[in-house]
C-alpha cells in the first residue's frame, strides 16, 4: 500500500481532486491531510472525504520537531504539497529525500519564489504580457520552487485575459495532471 500525505493551506480543491482520483485505487491511500491554517476550508473538505486532518502551528513545524516525528511515524511513500505556503524545513527534506513534491501555478523557473503563489503569480504573468502559462510539478528542496522539475503543462494566454482567466486555465491543468503525475511517481 502506497501512503500519501497531503499538505494544504487553503480551500483544498487540489486535495479533493487527488483524494477522489485515488479513492478507488486499492494500492494507493491518502492517509492524512495536514494544514497550517486552522480556518482553511480544506479541513471541511477532508471531513466530507473521510480523511483525517492534523492542524499544526509554526512551533510544531519549525521548532519542536512534532511534524517531523509525525511524518516519520506515518512513513508516507510521498508527501504532496497541494497549495501549501510554508517553506519545508531542511530536516523534513533530509528525512524524505525525493519523496516531497509541489505544484506551482506557473512555468518555473519563471514566477516562482517566496511570495509567488495564487493570484500573485497570474497577475505577474499578465503584467509581463506572457503568451503562455501553466503548471510545474517539482521535487521540493530547501528553497521555494527551485527543486528538480518533474512535469510541466502549458496553456495559452490570450490578449484580454484577466488573472482570473489565467487561474481558471491553470486550475484545469492542475486537476487534469497532478493526480496522474502522483500516480506515475508512486508506480516507479
Between CA 4 and CA 76 the distance in angstroms is 6
Contacts for 150 with CB less than 8 Å, ≥ 6 apart:
101, 137, 138, 139, 181, 185
Among the listed residues 104, 122, 171, 177, the single catalytic one is: 104
Q: Which residues pair with 59 in a beta bridge?
A: none
CB 2 within 8 A of CB 25: no
DSSP single-letter state for residue 178: H
The reply to whether 122 belongs to the active site is: no
Catalytic residues, by residue number, are: 104
Amino acid at each position: 500500500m502506497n501512503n500519501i500525505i497531503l499538505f494544504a493551506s487553503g480551500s483544498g480543491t487540489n486535495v479533493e481532486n487527488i483524494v477522489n482520483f485515488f479513492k478507488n485505487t486499492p494500492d494507493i491511500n491518502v492517509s492524512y491531510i495536514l494544514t497550517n491554517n486552522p480556518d482553511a476550508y480544506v479541513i471541511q473538505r477532508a471531513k466530507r472525504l473521510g480523511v483525517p486532518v492534523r492542524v499544526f502551528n509554526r512551533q510544531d513545524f519549525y521548532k519542536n520537531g512534532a511534524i517531523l516525528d509525525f511524518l516519520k511515524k506515518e512513513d508516507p511513500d510521498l508527501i504532496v504539497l497541494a497549495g501549501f505556503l510554508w517553506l519545508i524545513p531542511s530536516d523534513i527534506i533530509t528525512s524524505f529525500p525525493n519523496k516531497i513534491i509541489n505544484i506551482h501555478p506557473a512555468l518555473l523557473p519563471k514566477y516562482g519564489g517566496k511570495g509567488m503563489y495564487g493570484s500573485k503569480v497570474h497577475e505577474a504573468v499578465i503584467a509581463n504580457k506572457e503568451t503562455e502559462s501553466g503548471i510545474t510539478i517539482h521535487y521540493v528542496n530547501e528553497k521555494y520552487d527551485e527543486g528538480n522539475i518533474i512535469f510541466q503543462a502549458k496553456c495559452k494566454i490570450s490578449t484580454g485575459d484577466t488573472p482570473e482567466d489565467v487561474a481558471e486555465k491553470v486550475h484545469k491543468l492542475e486537476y487534469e495532471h497532478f493526480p496522474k503525475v502522483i500516480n506515475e511517481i508512486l508506480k516507479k
